[in-house]
Amino acid sequence: MNRRSFFQTALTAFGALTVLSIKANSEERRRGGGTAAATGLALVNPNDPAAKGVNYVHDLKDIKDVKLQTERTGVKFKDQHCKSCVFYLKDKETTVSGKKAAPCQMPFATGKAVAAEGWCTSWAKKS
Nearer to ligand SF4, 28 or 112 (CB): 112
The reply to whether 88 sits near ligand SF4 by the rule CB under 6 A is: yes
DSSP 112: S
Q: How far is the CB of 115 from ligand SF4 (least distance, A)?
A: 8
The reply to whether 82 sits near ligand SF4 by the rule CB under 6 A is: yes
Q: How far is the CB of 80 from ligand SF4 (least distance, A)?
A: 7
Measured distance CA(112)–CA(92) in Å, rounded = 12
Cβ-contact 12, 67 below 8 angstroms: no
The reply to whether 114 sits near ligand SF4 by the rule CB under 6 A is: yes
Give CA separation, 71 vs 53, 65, 66, 127, in Å: 20, 14, 11, 16
Q: Which residues contact 99 (CB under 8 A, 6 or more apart)?
A: 43, 58, 115, 116, 117
The reply to whether 103 sits near ligand SF4 by the rule CB under 6 A is: no
Q: Which residues bind ligand SF4 (CB under 6 A)?
A: 56, 82, 85, 87-88, 104, 106, 109, 114, 118-120, 122-123
